[in-house]
Amino acid sequence: MTTELRFPAIEVRQSPERTLYTFAVDAKLVPKFATVSRIRRKDGDELQGYQRPEVLAHIEEIRAYVESESPMIPNAVVLAFDSRVRFEPHVGPCSPYARPGTLVIPVDDDAPEEERPGFIVDGQQRLAAIRDATVESFPICVSAFVTDDVREQTEQFILVNSTKPLPKGLIYELLPGTDTALPTLLQRRRLPAFLMTRLNQDQASPLHGMIHTVTNPSGTIKDNSVLKMLENSLSDGVLYRLRDGSGSEVNTEAMLGVLFAFWGAVKEVFGEAWGQPPKKSRLMHGAGVVSLGFLMDTISERYRKKGLPTKAMFAKDLRPLKPLCRWTDGYWDFGPGQQRKWNEVQNTTKDIQMLTNYLVVQYKSLVWNRPGAPTGRQLALTHGR
């Protein structure tokens, strides 16, 4: 038995050949009249359809968001209807390109899925997430067009999904100003992005204005290098210790205090390599920034029982390493057969690990484990005087 669903809609004529319809609908209703045209081969040869399979992890993240306290999905899904769907205009004033009316969609609950009048062009994962979410309803916006030509549907699918995404750097700059639930990857980067923003913007920061971002294109250090350095420390370093036991609360001011102190000491000790472009100084290069982040954690661990290191403490522990560092010229001596010209150290996992191991081993040999160096207990006793 065929029934009809009727939705208030606006017809928008973009050109003599192109007409769109915009309307709102409870997303739980969409499976009644629209389906997914998944890519498949007919008889193992001819390509049919245009959608990709559902991405379960992505759907689960959207579902969790829809089930959160105050979700909002402002971007419309895109549907293609065949000619069984019709628009009934209302009598009354209208603009030269738009008129109100009612979109009428036939629904036959007994018909096979592939015979539904609508096809999902964009929004498959969102609709699947809302379909599975434990909410009674969730209205969404829909942009639709009518065509019986599957090639036109495929064309629109390609155009919608090939749009250039936002630059990652811009997303990271926007993250600190948000507090709603986000996909897992972005959620993990919210705190590092906040710390990076403060490092770049605070007048007291030794890295003030030095981090290259979308809004600070003149910066010297790549934002992604700083994010990696921060993420490593937040994962298992001194910044991690400044979270509470549950990890839900963080002492951001204490974190920034450590970061300002350490990078201020780096600036003081390695002044000749500071502020130069990465091509002229590996200190400002991704490999240098990330490896020094691990060294920051190591130095902080030595002072753990005394408290958080000051800039003077960091500088004192960094100075013995200065003669061994080749940030701007010469050769790094990583061991037998491992001599590397200063600018041959690359921003790769292997080179970062090699540089990190070298700096940490030399630090422990020259500073932490040197004869007469104060132990953690002695540092604690000194602090208690």
Per-residue pLDDT reduced to its tens digit, 313-330: 999 999 999 999 999 999
pLDDT in tens, 13-46: 998 888 999 999 999 999 999 988 654 445 544 5
The band of 382, judged by pLDDT with boundaries at 50, 70 and 90, is very low
Confidence (pLDDT) at 121 = 86
Task: Decide if pLDDT at 111 tops 50.
Answer: yes
Q: How far is CA 283 from CA 194, 271, 280, 347, 359, in A?
A: 23, 10, 9, 12, 13
Task: Decide if pLDDT at 374 tops 50.
Answer: no
The band of 54, judged by pLDDT with boundaries at 50, 70 and 90, is low
Confidence (pLDDT) at 385 = 30
Confidence (pLDDT) at 56 = 80
Q: Is the whole-model pTM more than 0.75?
A: no
Confidence (pLDDT) at 4 = 95
Confidence (pLDDT) at 73 = 93
pLDDT in tens, 162-181: 666 667 787 788 788 776 66
Q: What is the mean pLDDT of residues 349-375?
A: 85
